[in-house]
Amino acid sequence: MKRTSTTMADGRELIYFDEHDDAVRAMVDSRELPPPPPPAQLRFDPLTEDWVAVAAHRQTRTFLPPTAECPLCPTKGAFLTEVPADDYDVVVFENRFPSFSGDAGRCEVVVFSPQHDASFKELPVSRVRTVLGAMADRTAELSAQPGVEQVFCFENRGVEIGVTLHHPHGQIYAYPYVTPVTRRYLEAARKFRDEHGGNLYGDLLARERADGSRIVASNERWTAFVPYAARWPYEIHLAPHRQVPDLAALTEAELDACAPLWSEITRRLDGLFDLAMPYIAGWHQAPVHTDRDLGYLHLRLISSRRAPGKLKYLAGSESAMGAWVNDVAPEQAAAALRAVSL
């Protein structure tokens, strides 16, 4: 994989990740752009001890543009986009409308393909492997930046989730704090270690592999499963058999083995009802500076669709009180996912 870094018209960084070493990236961003917006305000909520980013400039971000105006497509002639090249494999650049920036973190966009109408499940496994390599690269580099406490790589898919651009892409958030979900997980992991020894997620994974009823797919290095206490109608975890803190810690062999399974579970998800499922696929990584020995890298892929034409809405119980109710038994979900013909 060849890595080429360049600068956009407004000073933001853009990085090409090419699958061929002879790729040439000498294109210049010739747009006239305003300067990047000021950093978001970080405000602390003493009731929950959570940080909230106030980023009012995001109100003006691009919202579901027509294909002919997509900012993630390659630049063609007079149509100038965020990517000055007329073709690419995978490209990463600083978000023009970031939730975090400057000394308070960083937000990046990861574009999976130059094909506007493609989807992640349609990418060849070799391209999924390139996406993984790019995310591992960015995790390592962002983790080394001052002030960054956690790196989160994720993909939102579907208007039901809130996607504002249809072009296949993901995002990377470099948070200036450890997120609430990770804090809760680390507290549970620390308690488990103190009481039982070992790693909490590693123990959970071992139990799922031994039980087998919720396994969706596996190979010699990774296992995909529906967790015993899944909150969403269709929720899949993808975890390596070796405990590592983040994507940057994976070996080349582990990255190679991950790509086909990541591709497979997205295809199985879409095969459930023979339609495009809305989902969030997020890589849960250990914090940069603390409790890395408690973390265990894994992907969580969650879908809000519980049946054709029916979505799970986070109404009173879930949104207001954080008390979850799942309409689909995890064993039923796993069996349905396994039964999908690929």
In tens digits, the chain (342 residues) has pLDDT values of: 999 999 999 999 999 999 999 998 878 999 999 999 999 999 999 999 999 999 999 998 988 999 999 999 999 999 999 999 999 999 999 999 999 998 889 999 999 999 999 999 999 999 999 999 999 999 999 999 999 999 999 999 999 999 999 999 999 999 999 999 999 999 999 999 999 999 999 999 999 999 999 999 999 999 999 999 999 999 999 999 999 999 999 999 999 999 999 999 999 999 999 999 999 999 999 999 999 999 999 999 999 999 999 999 998 999 999 999 999 999 999 999 999 999
> In DSSP terms, which residues pair with 223 in a beta bridge?
218, 239
Specify whether 176 is located in the same domain as 219.
Answer: no
DSSP class of residue 33 equals -
> In DSSP terms, which residues pair with 91 in a beta bridge?
16, 111
Among 159, 180, 201, residue at a domain's last position: 180
Query: Which residues, other chains included, contact 252 with Cβ-Cβ below 8 Å and sequence gap of 6+?
Result: none
Whether 169 is catalytic: yes
Q: For residues 95 and 110, what is the distance between their CA atoms, to the nearest angstrom?
A: 9
Asked if residues 103 and 251 have their Cβ atoms less than 8 Å apart, the reply is: no
Neighbours of 146 (CB within 10 A): 6
Written as one string, the DSSP assignment of 97-126 is S-SS-GGG-EEEEEE--S-TT--GGGS-HH
Is 186 within a domain? no
Is 237 one of the annotated binding-site residues? Answer: no
Among 145, 180, 215, residue at a domain's last position: 180
Specify whether 39 is located in the same domain as 78.
Answer: yes
Specify whether 175 is located in the same domain as 54.
Answer: yes
Looking at the structure of the chain, the number of domains it has is 2
Specify whether 37 is located in the same domain as 161.
Answer: yes
Is 7 within a domain? yes
Q: For residue 230, what is the domain's CATH number?
A: 3.30.428.10
Q: Which of 20, 57, 166, 169 is catalytic?
A: 169
Specify whether 86 is located in the same domain as 221.
Answer: no
Q: For residues 169 and 171, what is the distance between their CA atoms, to the nearest angstrom?
A: 7
Specify whether 212 is located in the same domain as 158.
Answer: no
Is 166 one of the annotated binding-site residues? Answer: no
Is 107 one of the annotated binding-site residues? Answer: no
Write out the residue range of the structural domain in which residue 269 sits: 191-339
Specify whether 44 is located in the same domain as 174.
Answer: yes
Is 185 within a domain? no
Among 146, 180, 214, residue at a domain's last position: 180
Nearest to 205 by CA among 230, 183, 222, 188: 222
Specify whether 139 is located in the same domain as 261.
Answer: no
Specify whether 174 is located in the same domain as 197.
Answer: no
